[in-house]
Structure 1
Amino acid sequence: MTRRNDYPVAQTPAAQTGNAKPIWRSLDDKGRASEERARLADAGAEHGPVLSADSLTRGRSSDSAPSTGTHLGRRGFLAASTVTAAAGLLEGCIRRPEEHILPYGEAPEHVVPGVPLHFATVTERLGDAMGLLVTSHEGRPTKVEGNPNHPSTGQGAADVWSQASLMDLYDPDRSTKPARSEGGTLLDAEWTAAEEALQARLASHQGNGGAGLLVLTPPNSSPSFRRARARFLAKFPEAGFHTWGSVTDANMREGAKIAFGRPLNIHHDFRGSRVILSIDSDFMMTEPNALTNSWRFALGRPAFRPNDPMNRLYVVEPGHSLTGSNADHRLRLPSSQIARYLKILAKRLATESDVDLADVASAVSDVSADGIPEAWIEKVAAELLANRRRAVIVAGLRQPPAVHALVHALNRALGNDGATVIFTGVADDDGGSAGAVPQAPSGGETAPPEPYYNTQVSELAAAMGGARTMLILGSNPVYDTPADLGFAEKLGSIEFSLHLGSHRDETAAASTWHLPMAHELESWGDLRSRDGTYAIQQPLIAPLHGGRSALEVLGFAAGDEDPKGHTLVRSTFSEVFARGPRSSEAWRTALHAGVLAGSTRRPEPPRPLDTVAIALAVRATADVPMPTPDALEVAFVPCSKMLDGSRANNVWLQELPDNMSKLVWDNAALVSPATATQLGLSDRDVVRLEADGGAVVEAAVHILPGVADNVVVAPLGWGRHAAGRYGNGQGFDFGPLRTTEALWHRSGVRVTRTGDDWFLVRTQEHGSMHGRPIAIDGTLEEYQETPDFPQYRAVEMDIPPLWDRVDYDGKYKWGMSIDLTACTGCNACVIACQAENNIPSVGKGMVARGREMYWIRLDRYFVGEDENEPQVAFQPIGCQQCEEAPCENVCPVNATAHSPEGLNDMAYNRCIGTRYCANNCPYKVRRFNYLNYHEYLEDPTNARSMDVNIPATRQMSYNPNVTVRMRGVMEKCSYCVQRLQEAKIASRRDDRPIADGTVRAACQETCPTKAIVFGCLNGYPYVVRKGSALVGKTVQEIAREYGLREVRIERETVVPDSEHRVGVQEVDSIEGNDAFLNGQVKYTVYSASLLPQLQSHDRHYKLLVELGAYPRTTFLGRIRNPNSEMV
């Protein structure tokens, strides 16, 4: 490695030398002409094409092409500047919004104005229970975090869906009243009428035991729900009870059932694995236990020292998932060919297995290896065999049960079971363990195990054919069931259908009755996680619209005397989990902690492997020909934002850039550059996807590097028509192509252009790298050779500053470090920042003009020459909190200035909107409120005025500790200064130094891999006062008593009205002598912070250090661990 190993973009001459891999934002960036790059480089982050917001709202752009604009000459610039200056003066005299406030008539007993409360609860996520800590201000939930007590959160992280759940709660389009269908139209009704209609209908089934009565729910791991189901089936033994979810772990459980004779939950220890092979598994994002998986994966590649052991990740997949983007090696392969790859690998591993896999070897003996790179068989097999008991193979939920069963056989052959692969029982198969389904209160038989995984769709279709009554609780099957089921038509033929849902969605429109469903933050419930941990879901607010939970409606249908959620959950807790006289105490403890201590299941010992059943399942998996340009394969994948489409009206998720494509407000048919070239497709072309049987979908094309050739990747969850104002008409619904036999991929699809195009908006090109080293990475081998390689790729500044730098000795000096090796690109930090800091969403049209408002963005870069086989680098970018901030020098009204602690602060009421600061910010992280964006999506016309009319439900979501910015104001990351102030106030109030880790920015707190570290570069200073409990104590006593990492004490002679510190010396204890009592001596206790160690690490570098801005936010270069024999 040379001293100056630059990291150029693809177009720079350095890229041709072979000394470094090129890095590029997109295909356009990689192939763009130099003139176009210069134009984009000169454009600020707030600039973009001059487009009509109306023409961009829905996307089609054939009739409204972007305007090219005109060149602005010198005279025109001077004339415009005069007008702008005058407008700026007028803007400075703007009328601030006038709001009316009212005090509490009767203040709630537990509410202290300005002091938030925190409640532990739980939410369901793909068959797992995710523990949450929810912050409430004056009775309003305002922020969601992960509960560190819960095992599924990776020590307190939260994913994008948890963070964005507030927008689901405060969605203005939520269903507010029951409704009855008359003439195909839903008309408002009262709850009493709905209850009477349901009761009368259930009474009509009393005489026949429930024959012709169906209930359909999403998969559910709630013990209380299972007990209610047991009572319902005891009352209606002939009724059918079915489950369906568009995205579930059904294949995983079925695969375990084939291999071991019963369904099991599988847990992978990525922390202890040296080699990981992912078989179409996005275990870091869209699969169960993703937060814990990400955390453990990051622990397995610390990279703090060059000789630290580091895991290696191999990924085989058709699209570019988040997990695949973090791979050291990645094989692009159509979904239909992944089973064949695994069979070939099994044939290779079976020859050196210590386990008898003769039946399996026989089943895969005649598999062809055509089209599979030999290295991906021989080299991967060699690594797996060399790391027995320290490797893991994991299959994704999209792969069929036979693939999962074969993966179990290979993990057993490698000795991974019980080491890196752990088994626990499933929630519906307790086997007599704690939490087993009890007998129904009526004395009936124990309820049969509820099939958590989906009912076979054929069984559901057959049952609907003879049904007279159907209850649909909490799902939207008209939208997400396979197209060949014809669910809407079958539902329309049923005499009485009742739908419980959060919105009047597609299923509500096809039902005879609709009931509003309570949000998880409004209702009582309970859940068991995949490892058996029991947690209680408690409400933080009364139902805003009088909704009820699925548990309450099922309890009502079962004839419970008191079908309230609290009663049902409390009964389950006392009768199943905490019997005896101390049940009430255990209940309070579980509510407070968020989990029931001791409820976690013990790992099960590895069960005998049924190799005969596995072999039969593998033989039954037919080999499918490789797709061709004339017969493409469509791979259906859970969207990293919408997931299954149930959150389609969530405005935060709509505007969140996709992890890989960076699309906002849309999905698209994703194809590789090679496939696009073969088919003559361009970005934004609208194509017609046609499959055998007449199924047709039209969708826009987006060319994404890394997609398998002859494959169309189709993200699910879009194209809704009854989602609400934000979700309607956004994106494309690929559901018509999904069938019961082709649920996750469909072959033989033909693609033709329609001649239309669709305006897709992506955010990755809102800025330019100027060929600078931005996202720096290297291999483990390079790191071992030159540990401080990131610093060699940055250009040190050799020009001294114009004035002396401020000395922050003895003061708080906040900073942040981001480890790019640990960052997976999950986007959780982006939504966490938005929720914490009241950041508005602006809509597709404004994002197209570069006016998104995120305070932290997640940049995605492609690395390498081959546009079909690139590597990926992620980099979170927020305000760098420069000590010599370029933005401050150009503000004419001192609206942005330095605080005494060195933070680059914004004084909103001073800002007159010149935007000079944004132009002078080299990181392009400042955001300007061109309009009143908090109401723009609801009322674009009024948003251009100074009258503020923010929707009431939206106001309920605001953090009261953060100013809601209005039109004409610049804003940016503040390091969550409100949290800093809260910590300092608590430190003085409680008379204790701040411990490292107790002050956390919102982005840091939610990060599942702990990639973001925030702290004080000086250590946390605490000035000791007279009468403090610290007086008379030694360094060791203070550290031990207050749980501090490391402590030092400074004694300083006080000179009144002096900014300089005099007579500073380090001492071992605090003496309460006369000089201290008379204020002549000051003692300061410093508790150590991890941050200074990170900012002096070999991998540490500062972004654009050559500009001399001295940023407080710094980065640790990314380390990859490729197999040298496969590079």
Structure 2
Amino acid sequence: MDSNKKYWKGLEELNNEPEFVEKNKHEFAEPIPIEEVLSGGGLMGKTPRRDFLKALGFGVGAVTLAACQKVPVHKSIPYLIKPEEVTPGVANYYVSTYDGHAILVKTREGRPIKVEGNPNDVLAKGGLSAQAQASVLDLYDYNRLNNPMLDGGDSSWNEIDTFVKRELGAIKTGGKKIRLVTSTINSPSTLAVIADFIAQYPNTKHITYDAVSYTGIIQANQNSFGKAVIPHYNFDKADVIVSFGADFLGTWISPSEFMGQWVKNRGSKSLANKKMSRHIQFETGMSLTGSNADTRILIKPSEEGLALVNLYNAVTGTTLPGSKPLGNTSADKAVKLVAAELKAAQGKALVVCGSNDVAKQILVNAINAQLGSYGTTIDLDNYSNQYKGNDAEFTDFVGEMNRGEVDAVFFLNSNPVYEYHNGQAIKDALKKVRLKVTFADRKDETSVICNVVAPNHYYLESWGDGNAIEGYYTVIQPTINPVYDTRQAEQSLMVWSDSTVKDYYTYVRNTWDKELLAKGGLSGQKGWEALLQTGFVKVADKPAGSYSFAKDLNGVAQTILNQGTTLEAKGDKQYEVQLYQSIALRDGKRANNPWLQELPDPVSKVTWDNFAAMSPTDMKKAGYVQGDVINIEVKNPNNNTSYTIALPILVQPGQAQGTISIALGYGRTEAGPVGQGVGKNVYPFLNFVNGTFQTATVAAISTTGDNVILAQTQTHHSIEGRNVIRETTFKEYVKDPSSNSGGSLKHKEYEDLWDDYEHPQYNWVMAIDLNACTGCGACVVACSAENNVPVVGRDEVRRRREMHWIRIDRYYSFNEEGKSITEEKEIEDLKDLDNVAVVYQPMLCQHCDHAPCETVCPVLATVHSSEGINHMAYNRCVGTRYCANNCPYKVRRFNWFNYWNDSRFDNYLINEHTHLVLNPDVTTRFRGVMEKCSMCIQRIQAGKLKAKIEKRPLKDGDIKMACQQTCPTNAIVFGNASDPNSEVSQLLKSERTYYVLEELGVKPGIGYQVKVRNTAETLA
């Protein structure tokens, strides 16, 4: 099946463009002249390399002091008297919470260095996102505020408290309004503190505002069922999943949780039982979820509402007024066929929509109710608390400020000057507010116009709790003392409201003692200590009820159709614009994190920028080439103003014609040196329509004449047409489980040029399931955090010098009428490049038993171990790069600069402050050496040592790689192939297993499982 299918990494490779051919004649990127090296050129103009991340603001003094104290700390303890729980060289782990997920924080000598998922986390079962993995780095950002500020100058907490309390007292007496503006809060303790503050100042109102809103779902459920909540979705209970623009594997609501659910009916265990769900995605731009779908249907934003109306008609057998064909032949056909599949999966079907429009979400509710989804795939009783923003309330708040009705505003984890579609309106309105307080822990666009800055602790320094899903309560505890003179926001509110409880730790403790411990059958000091070891309590789920829909949909349909008309682009230079969140930066709050900025976007593989993704067909018609900079102008119907930005174009196969897609979260002006000025801000493109903020609009574009090179990683190596990716269909797999895996072809059937190695006790290998890998990139950041992999910056990525030890290769292939296009088919014969399929493949050192790199190394810097691992002895390496030249997988990285050790280049991208995030168990590499995946050798040794200390054999699962541990879908499994009962041994025996470039006889130690798609040829 598909053995002649053609795959390519980018259009440069597909079209064999001269520049691409020329670059790939050379195995290595061109060197930088030494004078440029010494002058610091290459990343940020002429900034000296030793000062780059120092200039970016990651630097140590206060952290060292904080790390050297006992955690949690109640008094200062000299380190000469060793804290009982701190043993030099031995890691401590603390339970905590990030983004609603129970996590474990690894500390060494009192400093947090790594975040891991709690394996008992109810949501993701130990999986974590790239954002969570990168969160530890933000602790060491010395752009964080060092102390409170008053009227733009440094202040003290006593001065701040005196000033704020005096102002609040006067405002309370005067009777004007006080507003507390926050992003979603699901912490029981924080909500209680806010309630106490409101009791003290009754003219206060708490307004919840999320940069990326889900108000549409909340209001639709209020309208449909009288429950103003976001449901808890169960993708694992669905046999047929239909998504309209909801990137639930990428950024929508709870992606780390949804990934684990989604793969349950698609991974190895499910396939072994000959069962696989079907996933159909209707969308505009190529999202992570769409690229993983079995079938992907292109629709414009203006067509989404009508497609939902037609789906409702097809499912229910009725006809809503105004219904008509889309005019999109493939989408019209797909809607009818999808409706039949949904009805056949009654009770095991799920339809989701990423729109924030209330009317569309009401229609989705009606479809799901008709399909019997409530009580099975949708749970309204054990609902989500992850997003609770109210767009209309926030808009009313802006009006209140403009009318001069508000005298005090407090901002907590909220930055509306940047995130609101009209930041200037916020600035102007705030001029009329007497007291403006922000709890921002670092300077942002809103904090610079506040007269009081009361910097909050970072979450790794804080006490707290969370309640992301109803009945699931997690705890937050500090893993280090406060690095700077910050104070928890809740503590500040308690002080200003004259709370009788003197510190927030006691407040949190009281909340758990009085209410939450009992929910987990715990009580008292022992119960609290048990909580601090487990990290959460879980109440038994309520029975999920079924809900019927009985609302009149005629008006809803008309609203949807009218909105579709307003979104239609009219004229040659107009395009429909779709805004989305990138996997790395999400809403932009973490823009100053270099690990996230350098994480390649899963689909485009662009780093350090946002861009305008455009269909190849549209680009050809307009005469554009990749990198051409265009002006994008959007008129705001709310205030008749226009907003224009200039962005480079990215040619994106699979983009709907007549549309462009742009990522939110870029264009920060007060983010810190890493994120400041990176990309352009497109929040002003949002529109406030029918009570919610909408992410679709119409733009006029024009050329600027400029062209820039985007920092992409994908096309830095060519596969030269080799058989690297293998996939099949579920239909073929059921007939023959070894379909397209190579059948019985194994290592020993090839002639060997090397002698075999013996592995008397351990043979460490890995299995990677391409059906489970979504390409999310969490493993890339986890590897960087675990193995001290440096950031190199935009210009070095352009020079093909990124240092990631593991990369996620994205491959396109043609699909036309559901059939593959063979290599002989000329591209000119195709209608367009819209109908492409995507496969993701994690690629890292394959730890070959017959490693060609070992053969050519003149100094034995790379050698083979008796346990099957390809080692690197960095102090032997002289940088000949023969090994990289001889590696067929192109997984070796050459250190161009001394990111860590040479005094001339020290602090280039990691400085004295950020050195504290380094893993002391892993050597930092120096200039002129090769490096690559070490199979986390430090974790292997630690696992063996622990088993030895406990006087027991090493058990399967005792050792997990960093990439494996964070993967939300368990796509990566590591273990001992010498143990026939190990999980990895069982997986490698699967009929789907194949080895990349096995025909070379290098005996790679990583086996891949063939990608299986549950496609329907009639839908494609």
TM-score by length of 2: 0.89
Q: Would you say the 8 A contact 1:673–1:703 is kept in 2? A: yes
Match of 2:56 in 1: none
1:166, 1:422 → 2: CA distance? 33
Matches for 1:1073-1088 after TM superposition, within 5 Å: 1088=981
Match of 1:589 in 2: 530
Q: Which of 681, 686, 704 does residue 733 from structure 1 map onto?
A: 681
Q: Quick check: which has more Rg, 1 or 2?
A: 1
Q: Give the residue type in structure 2 aligned to 1:406.
A: L
How far off is 1:1016 after superposition? 0.2
Q: Would you say the 8 A contact 1:578–1:586 is kept in 2? A: yes
How far off is 1:484 after superposition? 7.2
Against the structure 1 CA distance between its residues 615 and 604, is the aligned structure 2 distance closer, same or farther, given a 3 Å change threshold?
farther
Q: Would you say the 8 A contact 2:687–2:697 is kept in 1? A: no
Q: Deviations over 1:39-65 (max 9, x none)?
A: 3433326558999898864799xxxxx
Q: Give the residue type in structure 2 aligned to 1:1003.
A: C
Q: Would you say the 8 A contact 1:687–1:700 is kept in 2? A: yes
Q: Would you say the 8 A contact 1:483–1:737 is kept in 2? A: no
Is 1:492 matched with 2:431?
Answer: yes
Q: Would you say the 8 A contact 2:614–2:660 is kept in 1? A: yes
Is 1:879 matched with 2:822?
Answer: no
Q: Which of 104, 109, 122 does residue 133 from structure 1 map onto?
A: 104
Q: Give the residue type in structure 2 aligned to 1:133.
A: L
Is 1:464 matched with 2:401?
Answer: yes
Match of 1:843 in 2: 793
Match of 1:114 in 2: 89
Match of 1:656 in 2: 599
How far off is 1:1098 after superposition? 1.4
Q: Give the residue type in structure 1 aligned to 2:303.
A: Q
Q: Deviations over 1:629-658 (max 9, x none)?
A: 433111111121111110000000000000
How far off is 1:831 after superposition? 0.6
Is 1:206 matched with 2:172?
Answer: yes
SS in 2 for 1:633: strand
1:950, 1:737 → 2: CA distance? 35
1:131, 1:947 → 2: CA distance? 33
Against the structure 1 CA distance between its residues 587 and 415, is the aligned structure 2 distance closer, same or farther, given a 3 Å change threshold?
same
1:845, 1:999 → 2: CA distance? 37
Q: Deviations over 1:632-687 (max 9, x none)?
A: 11111112111111000000000000011100111111111122223322211111
Match of 1:789 in 2: 739
Q: Which of 348, 360, 363 does residue 406 from structure 1 map onto?
A: 363
How far off is 1:559 after superposition? 2.2
1:1090, 1:306 → 2: CA distance? 14
Match of 1:156 in 2: 126
Root-mean-square deviation (CA), in Å?
2.7
2:837, 2:32 → 1: CA distance? 30
Q: Deviations over 1:612-632 (max 9, x none)?
A: 3x5544433324233354331
Against the structure 1 CA distance between its residues 636 and 557, is the aligned structure 2 distance closer, same or farther, given a 3 Å change threshold?
farther
SS in 1 for 2:168: helix
SS in 2 for 1:888: helix
Q: Would you say the 8 A contact 1:363–1:616 is kept in 2? A: no
Against the structure 1 CA distance between its residues 1018 and 47, is the aligned structure 2 distance closer, same or farther, given a 3 Å change threshold?
farther
State, as a whole percentage, how many aligned pairs show the same letter.
33
Match of 1:853 in 2: 803
SS in 1 for 2:446: helix
How far off is 1:1094 after superposition? 1.9
Match of 2:71 in 1: none
1:289, 1:768 → 2: CA distance? 35
Q: Deviations over 1:762-816 (max 9, x none)?
A: 00001110110112111122323443233439898976334431121x3110000
Q: Give the residue type in structure 2 aligned to 1:203.
A: G
Against the structure 1 CA distance between its residues 662 and 424, is the aligned structure 2 distance closer, same or farther, given a 3 Å change threshold?
same
Against the structure 1 CA distance between its residues 989 and 648, is the aligned structure 2 distance closer, same or farther, given a 3 Å change threshold?
same
Against the structure 1 CA distance between its residues 407 and 739, is the aligned structure 2 distance closer, same or farther, given a 3 Å change threshold?
closer
SS in 1 for 2:812: strand
1:141, 1:825 → 2: CA distance? 27
2:244, 2:976 → 1: CA distance? 42
Q: Give the residue type in structure 1 aligned to 2:721.
A: G
Q: Which of 606, 614, 630 does residue 671 from structure 1 map onto?
A: 614
Q: Would you say the 8 A contact 1:157–1:1008 is kept in 2? A: yes
Q: Give the residue type in structure 2 aligned to 1:278.
A: S
Give the structure, 1 or 2, with the largest relative contact order (CA under 8 Å, sep 6 or more): 2
Match of 1:285 in 2: 250
SS in 2 for 1:277: strand
Match of 1:394 in 2: 352
Match of 2:54 in 1: none
1:428, 1:966 → 2: CA distance? 47
Q: Which of 214, 226, 230 does residue 261 from structure 1 map onto?
A: 226
Match of 2:659 in 1: 711
Match of 2:49 in 1: none
Q: Would you say the 8 A contact 1:684–1:700 is kept in 2? A: yes
1:951, 1:845 → 2: CA distance? 19
Against the structure 1 CA distance between its residues 150 and 531, is the aligned structure 2 distance closer, same or farther, given a 3 Å change threshold?
farther
SS in 2 for 1:816: strand
Which region of structure 1 is more displaced relative to structure 2, 679-688 or 869-878? Answer: 679-688
How far off is 1:602 after superposition? 1.5
Matches for 1:107-256 after TM superposition, within 5 Å: 107-124=82-99, 129-153=100-124, 155-181=125-151, 186-208=152-174, 211-256=176-221
1:635, 1:502 → 2: CA distance? 32
Match of 2:729 in 1: 779
How far off is 1:908 after superposition? 1.6
Q: Deviations over 1:1005-1055 (max 9, x none)?
A: 111111111000011xxxxxxxxxxxxxxxxxxxxxxxxxxxxxxxxxxxx
Match of 1:544 in 2: 483
1:290, 1:659 → 2: CA distance? 14
SS in 2 for 1:506: coil
How far off is 1:382 after superposition? 1.0
Q: Would you say the 8 A contact 1:483–1:739 is kept in 2? A: no
Q: Would you say the 8 A contact 2:456–2:489 is kept in 1? A: yes
Q: Would you say the 8 A contact 1:696–1:737 is kept in 2? A: no
Match of 1:81 in 2: none
Q: Would you say the 8 A contact 1:251–1:404 is kept in 2? A: yes
Q: Would you say the 8 A contact 2:9–2:812 is kept in 1? A: yes
1:476, 1:924 → 2: CA distance? 42
Q: Which of 276, 286, 290 does residue 320 from structure 1 map onto?
A: 286
Q: Would you say the 8 A contact 2:615–2:657 is kept in 1? A: yes
Match of 1:641 in 2: 584
Against the structure 1 CA distance between its residues 561 and 166, is the aligned structure 2 distance closer, same or farther, given a 3 Å change threshold?
same
Matches for 1:886-897 after TM superposition, within 5 Å: 886-897=852-863
2:357, 2:749 → 1: CA distance? 60
Q: Deviations over 1:927-975 (max 9, x none)?
A: 121112249xxxxxx7755899952321111111111112222211111
Q: Give the residue type in structure 1 aligned to 2:135.
A: S
2:845, 2:684 → 1: CA distance? 44
Match of 1:77 in 2: none
Match of 2:57 in 1: none
Matches for 1:799-838 after TM superposition, within 5 Å: 800-808=751-759, 810-838=760-788
How far off is 1:314 after superposition? 0.5
Is 1:311 matched with 2:274?
Answer: no
How far off is 1:21 after superposition? 2.8
Q: Give the residue type in structure 2 aligned to 1:733.
A: N
Q: Would you say the 8 A contact 1:656–1:664 is kept in 2? A: yes
SS in 2 for 1:207: helix
SS in 2 for 1:42: coil
Paired residue total: 955
- 5+ residue gaps, structure 2, are 47-63, 69-77, 636-640, 815-820, 822-831
How far off is 1:366 after superposition? 3.3
Match of 1:700 in 2: 648
Matches for 1:1040-1059 after TM superposition, within 5 Å: none
Q: Would you say the 8 A contact 1:120–1:538 is kept in 2? A: yes
Q: Give the residue type in structure 2 aligned to 1:697.
A: I
Q: Give the residue type in structure 1 aligned to 2:136.
A: L
Which region of structure 1 is more displaced relative to structure 2, 172-181 or 869-878? Answer: 172-181
Against the structure 1 CA distance between its residues 36 and 50, is the aligned structure 2 distance closer, same or farther, given a 3 Å change threshold?
farther
Q: Would you say the 8 A contact 1:927–1:972 is kept in 2? A: yes
Q: Give the residue type in structure 2 aligned to 1:739.
A: N
Q: Give the residue type in structure 2 aligned to 1:730.
A: V
How far off is 1:26 after superposition? 1.1
Against the structure 1 CA distance between its residues 803 and 582, is the aligned structure 2 distance closer, same or farther, given a 3 Å change threshold?
closer
